[in-house]
Amino acid sequence: MAHQHARRSSPMSPAQLREAHHTYLEEMLFEAVVTASAVVALADGRADASERAELVSFVERNDWLSTYTPAETAEAFESRLRQLEFAGSVSEATMNSVRRVADGLGARVVICAAEHIARADGRVQASEERALGIIRSAAAPYCVAMPT
Protein backbone atom coordinates (compact mmCIF):
# COMPACT_ATOMS: atom_id res chain seq x y z
CA MET A 1 0.00 0.00 0.00
CA ALA A 2 1.41 3.36 -0.99
CA HIS A 3 2.11 5.76 1.78
CA GLN A 4 0.08 8.87 1.24
CA HIS A 5 0.79 12.25 2.75
CA ALA A 6 -2.11 14.46 3.51
CA ARG A 7 -1.34 17.99 2.43
CA ARG A 8 -1.77 20.35 5.32
CA SER A 9 -2.98 23.78 4.62
CA SER A 10 -0.77 26.53 5.94
CA PRO A 11 -2.22 28.96 8.43
CA MET A 12 -0.52 31.64 6.32
CA SER A 13 -1.59 32.83 2.90
CA PRO A 14 0.88 32.68 0.00
CA ALA A 15 1.41 36.45 0.35
CA GLN A 16 2.15 36.06 4.06
CA LEU A 17 4.59 33.24 3.33
CA ARG A 18 6.40 35.38 0.74
CA GLU A 19 6.59 38.26 3.21
CA ALA A 20 7.91 35.98 5.96
CA HIS A 21 10.54 34.60 3.58
CA HIS A 22 11.54 38.12 2.51
CA THR A 23 11.86 39.18 6.16
CA TYR A 24 14.00 36.12 6.91
CA LEU A 25 16.34 36.88 4.01
CA GLU A 26 16.58 40.53 5.04
CA GLU A 27 17.48 39.50 8.61
CA MET A 28 20.19 37.14 7.32
CA LEU A 29 21.64 39.88 5.13
CA PHE A 30 21.55 42.41 7.98
CA GLU A 31 23.31 39.97 10.31
CA ALA A 32 25.99 39.27 7.69
CA VAL A 33 26.54 43.00 7.02
CA VAL A 34 26.85 43.75 10.74
CA THR A 35 29.19 40.81 11.30
CA ALA A 36 31.48 41.66 8.39
CA SER A 37 31.54 45.30 9.46
CA ALA A 38 32.47 44.39 13.03
CA VAL A 39 35.24 42.04 11.87
CA VAL A 40 36.77 44.80 9.76
CA ALA A 41 36.26 47.47 12.43
CA LEU A 42 38.13 45.40 15.02
CA ALA A 43 40.93 44.40 12.65
CA ASP A 44 43.12 47.27 13.86
CA GLY A 45 42.35 46.47 17.50
CA ARG A 46 39.46 48.85 18.10
CA ALA A 47 36.27 50.10 16.51
CA ASP A 48 35.81 53.84 16.33
CA ALA A 49 32.85 56.17 15.93
CA SER A 50 33.50 56.76 12.21
CA GLU A 51 33.08 53.03 11.53
CA ARG A 52 29.82 52.89 13.47
CA ALA A 53 28.55 55.98 11.65
CA GLU A 54 29.53 54.52 8.28
CA LEU A 55 27.64 51.30 8.97
CA VAL A 56 24.53 53.21 10.04
CA SER A 57 24.75 55.32 6.90
CA PHE A 58 25.33 52.27 4.68
CA VAL A 59 22.27 50.48 6.06
CA GLU A 60 20.13 53.59 5.66
CA ARG A 61 21.17 53.91 2.00
CA ASN A 62 20.65 50.24 1.16
CA ASP A 63 17.15 49.45 -0.08
CA TRP A 64 17.27 45.85 1.16
CA LEU A 65 18.17 46.92 4.68
CA SER A 66 16.22 50.13 4.94
CA THR A 67 13.71 48.71 7.42
CA TYR A 68 16.37 48.87 10.15
CA THR A 69 16.54 52.09 12.11
CA PRO A 70 19.85 53.80 12.87
CA ALA A 71 19.41 52.84 16.53
CA GLU A 72 18.85 49.16 15.64
CA THR A 73 21.90 49.17 13.39
CA ALA A 74 24.13 50.81 16.00
CA GLU A 75 22.87 48.44 18.69
CA ALA A 76 23.46 45.35 16.52
CA PHE A 77 26.96 46.60 15.65
CA GLU A 78 27.86 47.23 19.30
CA SER A 79 26.52 43.81 20.27
CA ARG A 80 28.56 42.06 17.58
CA LEU A 81 31.67 44.03 18.58
CA ARG A 82 31.25 42.88 22.19
CA GLN A 83 30.82 39.26 21.06
CA LEU A 84 33.96 39.39 18.94
CA GLU A 85 35.97 41.13 21.65
CA PHE A 86 34.85 38.53 24.20
CA ALA A 87 35.74 35.65 21.88
CA GLY A 88 39.13 37.18 21.12
CA SER A 89 39.08 36.00 17.52
CA VAL A 90 36.83 35.46 14.55
CA SER A 91 35.38 31.97 14.74
CA GLU A 92 33.94 29.77 12.04
CA ALA A 93 30.52 30.21 13.64
CA THR A 94 30.87 33.98 13.30
CA MET A 95 31.77 33.69 9.63
CA ASN A 96 28.81 31.39 8.98
CA SER A 97 26.49 34.39 9.04
CA VAL A 98 28.54 35.83 6.19
CA ARG A 99 28.62 32.52 4.28
CA ARG A 100 24.82 32.22 4.43
CA VAL A 101 24.46 35.10 1.99
CA ALA A 102 27.09 33.90 -0.48
CA ASP A 103 24.61 33.94 -3.33
CA GLY A 104 26.21 36.65 -5.41
CA LEU A 105 24.05 39.68 -4.74
CA GLY A 106 23.98 39.26 -0.95
CA ALA A 107 27.72 38.71 -0.98
CA ARG A 108 28.25 41.94 -2.90
CA VAL A 109 26.27 43.89 -0.32
CA VAL A 110 28.30 42.36 2.53
CA ILE A 111 31.63 43.01 0.82
CA CYS A 112 30.62 46.55 -0.08
CA ALA A 113 29.65 47.24 3.55
CA ALA A 114 32.96 45.83 4.81
CA GLU A 115 34.89 47.97 2.32
CA HIS A 116 33.00 51.09 3.44
CA ILE A 117 33.89 50.33 7.06
CA ALA A 118 37.55 49.80 6.16
CA ARG A 119 37.65 53.23 4.49
CA ALA A 120 35.59 55.00 7.17
CA ASP A 121 38.62 56.68 8.76
CA GLY A 122 40.13 57.70 5.43
CA ARG A 123 42.60 54.88 4.89
CA VAL A 124 42.67 51.09 4.75
CA GLN A 125 45.24 49.59 7.10
CA ALA A 126 47.01 46.31 6.38
CA SER A 127 45.06 44.56 9.16
CA GLU A 128 41.79 45.79 7.66
CA GLU A 129 42.86 44.57 4.21
CA ARG A 130 43.52 41.12 5.72
CA ALA A 131 40.07 41.20 7.34
CA LEU A 132 38.54 42.18 3.99
CA GLY A 133 40.26 39.14 2.46
CA ILE A 134 38.62 36.89 5.06
CA ILE A 135 35.22 38.48 4.39
CA ARG A 136 35.65 38.17 0.62
CA SER A 137 36.65 34.51 0.80
CA ALA A 138 33.71 33.69 3.10
CA ALA A 139 31.10 35.74 1.28
CA ALA A 140 32.14 35.57 -2.30
CA PRO A 141 33.09 32.19 -3.63
CA TYR A 142 31.19 33.34 -6.73
CA CYS A 143 32.28 36.99 -6.81
CA VAL A 144 35.40 38.81 -7.87
CA ALA A 145 37.11 40.93 -5.20
CA MET A 146 36.36 44.60 -5.51
CA PRO A 147 39.22 47.11 -5.37
CA THR A 148 39.56 49.02 -2.11
User: Is pLDDT above 90 for 38?
Assistant: yes
Residue 15 inside a domain? The answer is: no
* Among the listed residues 110, 93, 90, 89, the one whose alpha carbon sits nearest the alpha carbon of residue 36: 110
Domain carrying residue 62: 43-139
User: Is pLDDT above 80 for 148?
Assistant: no
* Among the listed residues 68, 46, 65, 18, the one whose alpha carbon sits nearest the alpha carbon of residue 120: 46
Residue 120 and residue 37 in contact, taking contact as beta carbons nearer than 8 Å? no
Residue 112 inside a domain? The answer is: yes
Who contacts 64 (Cβ-Cβ below 8 Å, separation ≥6)?
26, 29, 109
User: Is pLDDT above 60 for 92?
Assistant: yes
Instruction: Pick 15 or 27 by higher pLDDT.
Output: 27
Q: Looking at residues 12-21, what average pLDDT do you find?
A: 67
Report how far residue 33's alpha carbon sits from residue 120's, in angstroms, rounded to the nearest whole number.
15
Residue 34 inside a domain? The answer is: no
- Can you give the pLDDT at residue 4? 60
The phi, psi pair for 140, rounded to 5°, reads -130, 55
- Can you give the pLDDT at residue 15? 74
Residue 37 inside a domain? The answer is: no
Cβ neighbours, 10 Å, residue 80: 22
User: Is pLDDT above 60 for 9?
Assistant: yes
Q: Which range is least confidently modeled, 46-50, 71-75, 122-126, 143-147?
A: 143-147
Q: Which range is least confidently modeled, 2-6, 11-15, 115-119, 144-148?
A: 144-148
- Can you give the pLDDT at residue 3? 56
Q: Looking at residues 71-84, what average pLDDT do you find?
A: 93
pTM of the predicted protein model: 0.80
Residue 25 inside a domain? The answer is: no
Report how far residue 108's alpha carbon sits from residue 102's, in angstroms, rounded to the nearest whole number.
8
Query: With bands split at pLDDT 50, 70 and 90, how would you rate the model's confidence at 123?
Result: confident
Residue 147 inside a domain? The answer is: no
Torsion of CA 10, 16, 22, 23, to 10 degrees: -100
How many structural domains are present in the chain? 1
